[in-house]
Amino acid sequence: MGLLRFMLALAVASGHAGGFFAVDIYPIVPGSHAVQIFYMISGFLIALILSGKYANTPQGNWIFYSNRAVKIYVPYLAILAVTVVVSLASWAVAGSPLSLEVFFSEGAQMSLGAWAFAILTNLFLVGMEWSSMLIDRGGQLFFSLTALEQPPSAAHFNVIVPA
């Protein structure tokens, strides 16, 4: 399993680097396919851990999900805090708020719903995938299946884009 994960990691890295170098460095598996395979392997491994390591009881489920939440949210919230602090420091020193640019430029015209969506999804990650199906028009959010093709989408509210 380790070798497969390593090869898939190379494929993903190659996919990302290929755009920079304008060449496919690791052509065995395209990066987009490698990501999908990662999802499948991760789902399998998590299900294996859930069924093998934790008791099938409410307490066992609680321990599993609380451990997963800690593994996901502690690093994410730490990176989010550093990103916000660095962005605010950059704004104070250089006048450029970096990752918070959209909040500084459009914050005054954003509706309460847009603010709630942006803050809650950045804090809790839940619903962040909806940002690719919401169009931002004058601070109002509208649903569209083709939102990414009609910029600006609500994805520009994501402070940490890879999240």
Range of the domain at 85: 76-157
What is the pTM assigned to this prediction?
0.75
Residue 106 CB burial class (10 angstroms; 0-12, 13-18, ≥19): middle
Confirm whether 64 is domain-assigned. no
Tally of structural domains, the chain: 2
Q: What is the mean pLDDT of the chain?
A: 86
User: Based on the domain organization, do 48 and 84 belong to the same domain?
Assistant: no
Confirm whether 58 is domain-assigned. no
Confirm whether 41 is domain-assigned. yes
User: Based on the domain organization, do 41 and 85 belong to the same domain?
Assistant: no
**pLDDT for 19:** 61
Confirm whether 10 is domain-assigned. yes
**8 Å CB contact between 135 and 144:** yes
**pLDDT for 31:** 63
What single DSSP character describes residue 135?
E
Query: Angle of helix 31-53 relative to helix 58-94, nearest 10 degrees?
Result: 140
